[in-house]
Structure 1
Amino acid sequence: MNTLASSPVFEARTTPAWITPAEIGLLGAVWGASFLFMRVAAPEFGAAALVDVRLALGALVLLPFLWRARAQFPLRIWPKLALIGAINSAVPFVLFAWAAQRSPAGVGAICNSMTVLFTALVGFLFFREKISLRRTMALLVGFAGVVVLASGKTEGASIGWAVAAGTGAAVLYGFGINLVRRHVTGLPAAAVAASTLGTSALLMLPFAIAQWPDHAISAKAWGAAAALGVMCTGFAFVFYYRLIARVGPARAATTTYLVPLFAVLWAWMLLGEAVTATMLLSGALILGSVAFSQKAK
């Protein structure tokens, strides 16, 4: 491999300026579509079965990265990887899939935006990291957005439990990100993703078998599940890590702001889901708080 050509500095110099914002936009659109695909597939699969299909397909896409780096993954670290996978993939995916059966696609995406703030909060509470006044204020505003979202209704039905599930998933992502930072630093990121997705798929397999639907699953639902696993989980991770290597994690994380916007847009365009005033207000509060927390002091 040509080490100069593969370095972030070289790539940054040779990559046209429009490529990075285009890739950030594309990644936001793909991850926003994941909530649409969950909304389509979850009612037919159920949460456990859908998540296991998603995890397995995502792991298969990333398997070549793990195979290439297999020497860096001795047996002793696999229990740790399995735990991280459960916290950062299996359980959050189940919570989002469960929420997708009970609320519009945009609701889960808006809750997912709290991940940035929960990562800071978990680091402060459990890992002795400092948290600034700016981020503390942002957390309070973000929580207000969650409360507003939970108070909303869709077609007369409360979405409070779906919001609670989505927020719980974001909390788990906060734990997962902190664990990844501390326990798998130095390992190839795409290979780590393959290992955690693969172990999570094995963890979910008994639940998927036990809860596999006894009715035929439509081609539409299978297509949504395949897109969720292959495109939104497997290929999206590859895209994301390549983006981090070129522009750094802070700039790559700006996809956070685009995911709920695309999720709401896709659901409105393709499923005819209404965009409520509650969703707009809560989204503005949560995304505004995340943007405020990321500003330089």
Structure 2
Amino acid sequence: MKTTLTTSTTVPTKLQNPLLVWGLLALLAGIWGSSFILVKKSLTVFDPAQVGSIRIFSAFCFFLPFFIINIKKIPLNKAVYFLLAGLLGNLLPAYLFSFAGSKLDSGVSGALNSTTPLFTLIVGALFFSNKITQRQGIGIVLGFVGALLLILAGATGFHVNGYAFFVIAATLLYGINLNITKKYLTGLGIDSFLITSSIFMTIGPVAAGVLFSTDFVAKLQQPNALQALIFAMLLGVLGSAIAMVLFNRLIQMTSAVLASSVTYLIPIVAILWGVLDGEAIIFQHYLGMSIILIGVYLVNKSN
């Protein structure tokens, strides 16, 4: 999961259609919160590199017709930023979350994903001249304390789960990407759907090259391969394509602050899926997630 700013700068003072807004918010939380269990189910047949590749290639195929129809509207001078957004915000995180999902419970992955706003703020302050308030600084510290608890949490005591660092690396890349997108891919005079399409055009062929250089075709003959393939394709079409369109629409209808509240709902959905799938969710997990969300709240809270 990630959140991306749109080209719209309009912030309504009152919700024009509150039922639709809250419906979109719940739908996004459901889609992004379910992404982690979909990764886990896809990995029953395919390896992490294949799952990540299927995810991105599926999103690429979804956007391709729209891109072809509107290709003349695309500012080619921004191609390098489309590529950076594709690599940092989609392709590399897709692989990192897949590798994490091979050894990390989906609920824990979903909770750690909530560190994205913290990295966004840090990267913005270090490299994009953004300011960090004292309250936001406290939020960052709390967020990483919570993340540390999740990394160390184990059913038999505290131990380091190295696969959690794949999620941390992915959220760091999300933070870099969000700052690049905000600075270089806003105000282009084209809608966010076309921007997202252009981003996936730069990485879809790469994902296809990785996918078909593996034993992917041979694995399609395995039992349950079709089910695992559908799960991986849903990751791409729902989690990496449609969800971004919905999120951009949500920001256009309301404020970025309200839209960002999806951050708090994603871990809840992810953990519920984990519990239903028999994952062991212990007190340290809930404690770590709660501390992260308090930190994210302080980071996002208006002055």
Superposition TM-score, scaled by structure 2 size: 0.87
Show the counterpart of 2:248.
Answer: 241
Show the counterpart of 2:118.
Answer: 117
C-alpha deviation, 1:245, in angstroms: 0.8
Cα 1:206–1:226 shift into 2, 3 Å: closer
CA distance in 2, matches of 1:51, 1:158: 27
Residue of 205, 208, 211 corresponding to 1:208: 211
**Alignment check: 8 A CA contact 2:86 2:200 kept:** yes
**Alignment check: 8 A CA contact 2:83 2:202 kept:** yes
Show the counterpart of 2:196.
Answer: 193
CA distance in 1, matches of 2:130, 2:15: 31
**Alignment check: 8 A CA contact 1:55 1:198 kept:** no
Percent identity over paired residues: 27
C-alpha deviation, 1:58, in angstroms: 1.6
Higher helix share: 1
Q: For 1:75-100, what per-residue CA distance to the aligned partner results, in whole angstroms no more than 9, with x for missing partners? A: 33223211221011111111111000
Cα 1:71–1:275 shift into 2, 3 Å: same
Show the counterpart of 1:4.
Answer: none
Residue of 238, 242, 248 corresponding to 1:231: 238
**Alignment check: 8 A CA contact 2:36 2:107 kept:** yes
Q: Root-mean-square deviation (CA), in Å?
A: 2.4
Superposition TM-score, scaled by structure 1 size: 0.89
Length, aligned pairs only: 288
Letter in 2 for 1:135: Q
Show the counterpart of 2:300.
Answer: 294
Q: Which of 112-121 and 204-213 deviates more?
A: 204-213
Please, which runs of 5 or more residues in structure 1 have no aligned partner? 1-6
**Poorly superposed stretches of 4+, deviation over 6 Å:** none
Pairing 1:89–2:95 present: no
Letter in 1 for 2:258: R
Please, which runs of 5 or more residues in structure 2 have no aligned partner? 1-9
SS in 2 for 1:113: helix
CA distance in 2, matches of 1:93, 1:260: 18
Show the counterpart of 1:3.
Answer: none
Cα 1:154–1:236 shift into 2, 3 Å: farther
Cα 1:159–1:266 shift into 2, 3 Å: farther
Q: For 1:7-64, what per-residue CA distance to the aligned partner results, in whole angstroms no more than 9, with x for missing partners? A: 986x953x2x322122211110111001110011134222222112111222333345
Q: Which of 258-267 and 158-167 deviates more?
A: 158-167
CA distance in 2, matches of 1:32, 1:94: 17
